[in-house]
Amino acid sequence: MKIILTQEVSGLGAPGDVVEVKDGYGRNYLLPQGFAIGWSRGAEKQITLIKRAREAREIRDLGHANEVKAQLEGLKVSLSARAGDGGRLFGSITAGEIVEAVRAAGGPTLDRRRIVLPGHIKSVGVYQVQVKLHPEVTAKFDVTVTAAK
């Protein structure tokens, strides 16, 4: 089955790539989740739009990725969330909340889909978060989660 990716799928490709996958994987997972659209002559025109949008938010090159990495690693990011007795949070910290905290701390704007969380963040503490900036560059920084008063 030939499909066009609309989002990055690890091990498969980036948005705008035309890939060949097994029928079941495409029909039962990629298409219903919105990770891809079916390939056709008409859909191929959308590839340019997808690639143009990807380039707008993509890290430009390896040098730029290293600059952003240096910026992130020198950043002190903290979040406050509602917590009960013992430091257990009501809910969990999401990648979107981390993106907002990085922006509030004076860091660069990140894509929430590139953030790799160390499991579910469900309690107060310090967590190391990774961001895949480029295929060759991964930045690591600490996020401090505190209880809201």
Report residue 6's pLDDT band, with 50, 70 and 90 as the boundaries.
Answer: confident
Element (H or E) spanning 99, and its range? helix 95-104
Tokens 């894509």 identify what position? 111
What are the Cα distances from residue 13, in Å, to 18, 40, 95, 101, 137? 8, 18, 21, 29, 17
Q: Any idea which of 36-40, 49-53, 58-62, 143-147 has the lowest mean pLDDT?
A: 58-62
Residue 57: predicted pLDDT = 58
Query: Strand 36-38 relative to strand 2-5: parallel, antiparallel, unpaired?
Result: antiparallel
51 or 23, higher pLDDT? 23
Residue 29 pLDDT exceeds 80: yes
Per-residue exposure over 86-110, b if at least 16 CB sit within 10 Å of its own CB, e if not: eeebeeebebebbbebbeeeebbeb
- The pTM score is 0.65
- Cα separation, 2 vs 13, whole angstroms: 13
The token pair that represents 131 in the structure block:
């961001």
Tokens 């910026």 identify what position? 71
CATH number for the segment(s) 2-57? 3.40.5.10
Residue 44: predicted pLDDT = 74
6 or 3, higher pLDDT? 3
Q: Any idea which of 26-30, 62-66, 115-119 has the lowest mean pLDDT?
A: 62-66
Which homologous superfamily is 62-147 in? Ribosomal protein L9, C-terminal domain (3.10.430.100)
CB 133 within 8 A of CB 115: no
Q: Any idea which of 21-25, 27-31, 42-46 has the lowest mean pLDDT?
A: 42-46
Q: What percent of the chain has pLDDT over 90?
A: 46
Domain boundaries, the chain: 2-57, 62-147
pLDDT tens string 43-96: 877 777 777 776 665 566 777 888 888 888 888 899 999 999 888 999 999 999
3 state DSSP class of 149? coil
